[in-house]
Amino acid sequence: MSLLLIAKNRDFTSLKEAIQELDPNVDVEVWPRVDKKERVNFAVCWNHPEKVLGNYPNLRAVSSLGAGVNHLLDDESLPNDIPISRLITDSLQSQMGDYVLNAITNYRLHTYRYFDQKRTGEWKPHGNISKTSTPIGIMGLGEMGLHVATLLSQQGYKVNGWSRSKKELNGVSTFAGNDELDAFLNETKVLVNLLPLTEETDGILDLDLFKKLIKPGYLINVGRGSHLVEEDLIYSFDMDYLEGACLDVFEEEPLPKNHTFWNRPQIMVTPHVAAITPAKEAAKVIVENYKRAMSGMELMFEVDREKGY
Ligand code: NDP
Ligand code: OXD
C-alpha cells in the first residue's frame, strides 16, 4: 500500500517528512518515481498532469492539496466512485482572512497609488475611504467565506454574504441563490470572490455582474481564475463600473509575462498565495484520510461530487 504525492514542479520534501513523522508506516511516494503502480491506494494532487490518475488501478481515495477540487473533478481519468477530499485547516482560514482584510485596507488607504507615486516622486494625497462607505460582499459562505465574513464584520465593516443555501450569521446580511444575487450586488462596493469553480460559477465575474455593484466597485478574486471573464474586467475599468482589483488566481498560472494584467495600474497581482496549508497541518489531514480510506470509512472534508464542491 502506498500514498502518492502528485504535482508538477513542486518540492514535496517537507510534506513527505511531516507525513512520515506522524506515521512512519505510511509508504510515501513522490510522482513521477512510482515503484509499483498497483500499490498506490491514495493520491494527493495539486496541478497534476492530465489523466495521470488513470494509471493507478487500485486507488481508494484522492485528496486535493488545497481547498479547491476543480482540478480533480475535471480529471476524466478518475473513476466516479473514488471519493475526493480536500484540505481545510484553521491556519488556511486565518491566512485567507489576513489576505482579504489587507487587500481591503490597501484599497481604502490607496496604498498601491502611493507606491506608484513614490516611483515618480509625486506628492498627491487621496482622501482615505471610510469603512462605513465600503460595504463588502462575499460570494461563497463556506469554510473560507464564513471566516472572512465574520472577521470583517468584527472589524466594523458592513458585510453582505451570498451562497447557494441561506445562512444565518451574526452581523452579516445574507442572500441566497440566483434570485437574491442582484440585491446582494446592489448593496456591495468591494466584492470578494470565495466561490468554488463549478459549471454554475464559471465566468460568473463578468460585465453584467460588475455593473450591478455600487459604482465604482473593487474586486478581490481569491476563488479561481476561471471565475473571471478577463476582458470584462478591463472593460469595467473603462466604463467606471470598477476602480481596481486585487487578483490572486488566474486562468493561466503562472500569469504569462506578457499578460495585460501586469501593466494595469488598477490591478494588484499576487501569485496564488492567499492561503497555503503548512506541511505539518496538511500532513495531519492527509494521514487521517489515508487511514480512513484504507478502512473504508467516510473521509474528512469529503467533496459532494453532485454539487461539485
Ligand atoms: P466551500 O466548499 O466550503 O464553500 C463554497 C461556498 O460557495 C458555499 O457557501 C456554497 O454555498 C457557495 N456556492 C457554491 N456554488 C454556488 C452557487 N452556484 N451560487 C451561490 N453560492 C454557491 O469552499 P471554501 O470556502 O473552502 O473555498 C472556496 C474556494 O476558495 C475554493 O474552492 C478555492 O477555489 C478557493 N481558495 C483559494 C485559495 C487561495 O489561496 N487563493 C485558498 C483556499 C481556497 P452553500 O453553502 O449553500 O453550499
Ligand atoms: C486552494 C488554493 O484551493 O490554494 O487551497 O487555491
pLDDT digits (tens), the chain, 309 positions: 999 999 998 999 999 999 999 999 999 999 999 999 999 999 999 989 999 999 999 999 999 999 999 999 999 999 999 999 999 998 999 999 999 999 999 999 999 999 999 999 999 999 999 999 999 999 999 999 999 999 999 999 999 999 999 999 999 999 999 999 999 999 999 999 999 999 999 999 999 999 999 999 999 999 999 999 999 999 999 999 999 999 999 999 999 999 999 999 999 999 999 999 999 999 999 999 999 999 999 999 999 999 999
Please give the number of the atom of ligand 1 that sits closest to the Cα of 276. Answer: 40
Query: pTM here?
Result: 0.97
Q: Do domains 2-89+277-295 and 90-269 have the same CATH topology?
A: yes
Q: Tell me the torsion sign for CA atoms 32, 34, 37, 42.
A: negative
224 carries an active-site annotation: yes
CA angle 214–217–219, rounded 5-degree value: 135
Cβ–Cβ < 8 Å for 29, 40: yes
Q: Does the beta carbon of 29 sit less than 6 angstroms from any atom of ligand 1? A: no
- The topology under which CATH files domain 90-269 is Rossmann fold (3.40.50)
169: cell is 450569521
Half-sphere exposure of 101 (CA within 13 A, CB side): 18
CA 16 to chain centroid, in Å, comes to: 24
Distance (Å, rounded) from C-alpha 18 to C-alpha 21?
A: 5
Domain boundaries, the chain: 2-89+277-295, 90-269
Please name the CATH architecture into which domain 2-89+277-295 falls. Answer: 3-Layer(aba) Sandwich (3.40)
What is the per-residue pLDDT for 90? 87
Ligand 2 contacts CB of residue 67 (under 6 A): yes
Answer for the pair 27, 3: CB distance below 8 angstroms, yes or no: yes
**Residue 118 class from Cβ within 10 Å (0-12 exposed, 13-18 middle, 19+ buried)?**
exposed
Looking at 60, 227, 272, 292, which residue is catalytic?
272
DSSP 238-299: HTTSEEEEEE---SSSSPPTT-GGGG-TTEEE--S-S----HHHHHHHHHHHHHHHHTTPPP
Cβ neighbours, 10 Å, residue 308 = 16
pLDDT at 239: 98
